[in-house]
Amino acid sequence: MCGRFTITHPNEALAALFDAVPGNDLPQGPNFNICPTNPVVVVTSDGGQRRLRAMRWGFLPTWYKAPNDGPLIINARSDTVATKPAFREAVRARRCIVPASGFYEWSEGEKGARLPWYFTLADGLPMALAGVWQRWGEMDTVAIVSTEAGPGMDAIHHREPVVLERADWPLWLGEAGHGAAVLMKASAPGVLTKPFRVGVEVNSNRASGPGLIAPLAA
């Protein structure tokens, strides 16, 4: 699952990395505590032209009459994304990438305490999280695709976001034909950094600042 993430790389760096034309309404960073319903930067490809676009994190199916008309959908499970009515058209025609500098996941401590951990890429570059998007009214909305947790994550949580390797971006974005379903898998060993504990301050959606990703002292 992915319930919070960060973006500390500037939009100009994201545009260069993804070879994308940036929009004029992109949320400005850095943001060390991106929460559901926040605006996020998303990469789409239209006829081979990649664009950075602003979207609401929280996928709204076409039948919702209001944004709060049903459950808040921030993730799409890889095993059901092709069959669930909310996602099956989007995963065929509206796949996207959600850039992230890192993401948080929680383990359970004593008496049900939520203990946050922070993950980044081992090479320090922004992550390319697999996403699907949907236009709802005048608003574009997005969900991050999740899959069964792999080594390094499974001891903390049973699911993780799908992190796309650079060579797979064209296939996921629909630029390289069909067959993107094979990409919806856990990260290979060594792709993600060894996670480290961070302070419980990030448990609040009001928390902000670089201190949120500071490792706890041993």
DSSP letters along 4-18, please? EEEE-S-HHHHHHHH
Please state, in angstroms and as integers, the Cα–Cα distance from residue 157 to each residue in 96, 144, 147, 150, 161, following that order: 24, 16, 11, 10, 11
DSSP letters along 55-85, please? EEESB--TT-SSTTSS--B-EEETTTTTTST
pLDDT per residue rounded down to tens, the chain (218 residues): 689 999 999 999 999 999 999 999 999 989 999 999 999 999 999 988 999 999 999 999 999 999 999 999 999 999 999 999 999 999 999 999 999 999 999 998 888 889 999 999 999 999 999 999 999 999 999 999 999 998 878 889 889 999 999 999 999 999 998 999 999 999 988 888 889 999 999 999 999 999 999 999 76
Domains and CATH numbers, the chain: 4-213 (3.90.1680.10)
Q: Which residue's structure tokens are 């949580």?
A: 157
Round to the nearest angstrom and report the end-to-end CA distance of the chain.
26
Contact 87, 96 (CB under 8 A): no
